[in-house]
């Protein structure tokens, strides 16, 4: 069986690419994510304006060639603010997912692999995390930690632990029952060896699309926390914060719709990639 | 009511009580162990104008001078007798504060749930009866679009369109009919997307079954196929999805109430967050856990009665696999 599923030699790069089954929407989604990542890595390359200092004479001007998303109430270029806000809006979602995957994955791995009382203890803990509404959980954690975007990310990450723990546990249990794991036990593999060499890689494969999905959701949750003012204060420009500022200027609706559209397109792309990963793996 | 069912119900009830207690303790630990000290940040804040004597009184009344474990014991035993403690800021019972705003949030949440169910079933119905060339793909895109849109954006869009442009409601009267209606749409849309995703996946799965093919070969209209054959088996897992996500309505009320300027549990949370009123936060988070646990208990107890195919087996139940998939938004058809 493994002979067939290994990479077939002699496949040209083009054919390999075709076998990945990338549809136009998936390609577009990757493009969107690439742009957002580029925004967060080097925002100064994408805009000549300052994200903090505005030109008061230009305040609240409509979208134009000079100001793609218009300007805000202080005359700052909104496109520039969105570009500079990408770093904290998107990388904080990454922090959240990493926290969720590492802690949740570890809990799931241990409780799925060892079973018994380890499983019972962790299962109760996960039940408790699941019982508390996720957004409320994030709000109280960020309240306890202090209002900063990084704390909002940590809070969001904690609220996703239960999700990853459950997925990891069920994947580990599935893998543990596989014949090759049994064979490895018979060949004298130690528990630790089997856990790291066989169970972890196989169980983590199906975690990837879910981690990507959760990445998109974390962007939304962190935007929600920023919207409520639980992220970095102005003049930082998290997308949620930009929308929150914009809502006081609804007569100039681009102040809401431009950052909102960027957020929606980003999350849509992330979700599309997650769906594609799930189908193709 | 078989014996096995009663044993299962008793066991589930016991679990529910344990989870509620643990959730209370967990919340207590989070708000009291993590850095951030309400005494210095709120009580000693010169803006609030508490004298040293008043501060000492509040600290003594709240028992903040005692070790954390003693505080936890007092707080937990009070919680068990239904006493939620006193607010740190307003010196009123937390239960009263919550009772004052609960009805507003209940109206919002229940109408939001109604909107969510209506939208989800309408979209799911459309995916089964609308032909491919007349925009079925568009209908199928709705859930993922709704799941990718922050709900405050939905709220602001509705306010902008119906409040400002069409002047259908006045933003300064948040409890009017139209304002409540649009707030319910705001809170209901992300929720409807989750229900619709599961519903559509289940409908597609059922539509591929042999019995559906037989019905079609006998010349049944798509509408009748949906109503008489597909809907019932596909809609049952929706009970699980609702149970798993209904607690989120409480969390999402925070944003919806802020956007629409409503008073309710959400705005109470926000006020308590900004004043670090920990007893109120503790109570509301525990309330959220209680609601979640109770709703899931009811769903778990109803499920074997609603679906005779579900056998109660000792240990973990069969329903959980479906529930996990539903919670993860996995397509039922794609699973082996």
**For chain A, domain boundaries:** 25-41+72-280
**pLDDT band for position A221 (cuts 50, 70, 90):** very high
Query: To 10 degrees, what angle do helices A105-114 and A116-131 make?
Result: 140
B156/A256 CB distance under 8 A = yes
Q: How far apart are CA B302 and CA B309, in angstroms?
A: 13
Q: Prior bond to A235 cis, omega within 30?
A: yes
Q: What pLDDT shows up at residue B322?
A: 44
**Which of the given ranges, A16-30, B64-78, B117-131, B299-313, has the highest pLDDT on average?**
B117-131
pLDDT of A9 higher than 70: no
Q: Summarize the confidence of residues A28-41 as an average pLDDT.
A: 89
The CATH number assigned to the domain with range A25-41+72-280 reads: 1.10.3720.10
Asked if A54 has any chain B CB less than 8 Å from its own CB, the reply is: no
Of B35, B159, B292, the CB nearest to A133: B292
Q: What pLDDT shows up at residue A45?
A: 78
A132/B27 CB distance under 8 A = yes
**pLDDT band for position A71 (cuts 50, 70, 90):** confident
Q: How far apart are CA B262 and CA B287, in angstroms?
A: 20
**pLDDT band for position B9 (cuts 50, 70, 90):** confident
Q: State pLDDT tens for residues B195-234.
A: 998 899 888 888 888 888 888 888 888 888 888 888 888 8
The three-state secondary structure class of B64 is coil
C-beta of residue A155 within 8 angstroms of C-beta of residue A229? no
Lowest mean pLDDT among A250-254, B16-20, B329-333: B329-333
Burial class (CB in 10 A: 0-12, 13-18, 19+), B233: middle
Contacts of A174 in chain B (CB under 8 A): none
Q: What pLDDT shows up at residue A99?
A: 94
Contacts of A144 in chain B (CB under 8 A): 30-31, 34-36
pLDDT of B43 higher than 70: no
Q: State pLDDT tens for residues A50-66.
A: 777 766 667 767 777 67
Q: What is the DSSP string of B294-336?
A: HHHHHHHHHHHHH-TT----SSS-THHHHHHHHHHT--GGG--
Lowest mean pLDDT among A35-39, A61-65, B265-269, B279-283: A61-65
DSSP 3-state helix, strand, coil percentages of chain A (rounded to 5)? 75, 0, 25
pLDDT of B251 higher than 70: yes
Q: How far apart are CA A189 and CA B189, in angstroms?
A: 51
pLDDT of B317 higher than 60: no
When scoring B17, B112, B148 by the number of chain A Cβ atoms within 10 A, the one with the most, hence best to mutate, is B148
Q: Summarize the confidence of residues B254-274 as an average pLDDT.
A: 88
**pLDDT band for position A229 (cuts 50, 70, 90):** confident
Number of Cα atoms under 13 Å in the Cβ half of residue B192: 28
Asked if A167 has any chain B CB less than 8 Å from its own CB, the reply is: yes
A247/B259 CB distance under 8 A = yes
Cα–Cα nearest to A240, from B258, B126, B12, B106: B258
Q: How far apart are CA A156 and CA A139, in angstroms?
A: 9
Task: Tell me how far apart the terminal alpha carbons of chain A are, to the nearest angstrom.
Answer: 16
Of B35, B150, B160, the CB nearest to A250: B160
């Amino acid at each position: 069986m493994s002979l067939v599923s290994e990479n077939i030699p002699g496949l040209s790069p083009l054919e390999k690419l075709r076998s990945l089954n990338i549809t136009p929407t998936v390609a577009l989604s990757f493009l969107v994510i690439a742009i957002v990542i580029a925004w967060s890595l080097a925002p100064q390359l994408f805009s000549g304006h300052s994200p903090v200092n505005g030109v008061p004479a230009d305040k609240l001007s409509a979208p134009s060639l000079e100001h793609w998303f218009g300007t805000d109430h202080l005359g700052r270029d909104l496109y520039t603010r969105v570009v500079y806000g990408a770093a904290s809006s998107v990388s904080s979602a990454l922090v959240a997912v990493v926290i969720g995957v590492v802690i949740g994955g570890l809990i799931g791995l241990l409780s799925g692999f060892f079973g018994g009382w380890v499983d019972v203890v962790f299962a109760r803990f996960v039940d408790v995390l699941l019982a508390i509404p996720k957004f409320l959980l994030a709000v109280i954690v960020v309240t306890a930690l202090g209002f900063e975007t990084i704390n909002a990310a940590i809070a969001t990450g904690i609220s996703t632990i239960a999700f990853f723990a459950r997925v990891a546990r069920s994947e580990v249990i599935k893998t543990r029952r596989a014949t090759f794991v049994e064979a490895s036990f018979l060949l004298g593999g130690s528990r630790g060896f089997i856990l790291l060499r066989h169970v972890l890689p196989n169980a983590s494969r199906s975690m990837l699309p879910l981690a990507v999905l959760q990445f998109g959701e974390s962007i939304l949750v962190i935007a929600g926390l920023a919207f409520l003012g639980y992220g970095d204060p102005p003049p930082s420009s998290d997308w949620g914060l930009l929308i929150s500022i914009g809502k006081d200027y609804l007569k100039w609706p681009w102040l809401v719709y431009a950052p909102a559209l960027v957020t929606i397109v980003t999350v849509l792309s992330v979700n599309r990639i997650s769906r594609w990963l799930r189908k193709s793996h | 009511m078989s014996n096995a069912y009663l044993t299962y119900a008793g066991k589930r009830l016991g679990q529910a009580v344990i989870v509620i207690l643990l959730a209370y303790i967990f919340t207590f630990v989070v708000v009291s162990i993590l850095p951030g000290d309400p005494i210095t940040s709120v009580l000693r804040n010169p803006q609030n104008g508490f004298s040293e004597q008043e501060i000492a009184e509040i600290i003594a009344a709240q028992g903040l001078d005692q070790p954390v474990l003693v505080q936890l014991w007092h707080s937990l035993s009070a919680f068990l007798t239904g006493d939620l403690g006193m607010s740190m800021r307003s010196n009123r019972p937390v239960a009263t504060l919550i009772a004052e705003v609960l009805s507003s949030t209940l109206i919002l949440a229940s109408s939001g749930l109604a909107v969510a169910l209506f939208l989800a079933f309408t979209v799911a119905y459309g995916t089964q009866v609308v032909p491919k060339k007349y925009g079925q793909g568009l209908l199928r895109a709705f859930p993922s679009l709704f799941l990718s849109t922050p709900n405050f954006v939905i709220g602001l869009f509705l306010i902008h369109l119906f409040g400002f442009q069409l002047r259908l409601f006045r933003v300064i009267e948040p409890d009017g009919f139209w304002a409540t209606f649009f707030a319910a749409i705001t809170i209901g849309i992300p929720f409807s997307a989750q229900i619709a995703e599961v519903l559509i996946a289940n409908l597609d799965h059922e539509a591929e079954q042999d019995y559906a093919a037989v019905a079609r070969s006998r010349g049944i209209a798509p509408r009748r196929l949906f109503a008489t054959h597909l809907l019932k088996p596909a809609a049952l897992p929706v009970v699980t999805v609702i149970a798993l996500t209904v607690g989120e309505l409480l969390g999402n009320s925070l944003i919806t109430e802020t956007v629409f300027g409503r008073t309710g549990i959400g705005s109470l949370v926000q006020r308590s967050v900004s004043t670090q009123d920990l007893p109120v936060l503790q109570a509301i988070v525990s309330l959220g856990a209680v609601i979640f646990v109770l709703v899931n208990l009811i769903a778990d107890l109803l499920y074997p009665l609603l679906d005779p195919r579900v056998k109660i087996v000792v240990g973990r139940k069969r329903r959980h696999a479906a529930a996990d998939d539903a919670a993860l938004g996995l397509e039922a058809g794609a699973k082996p």
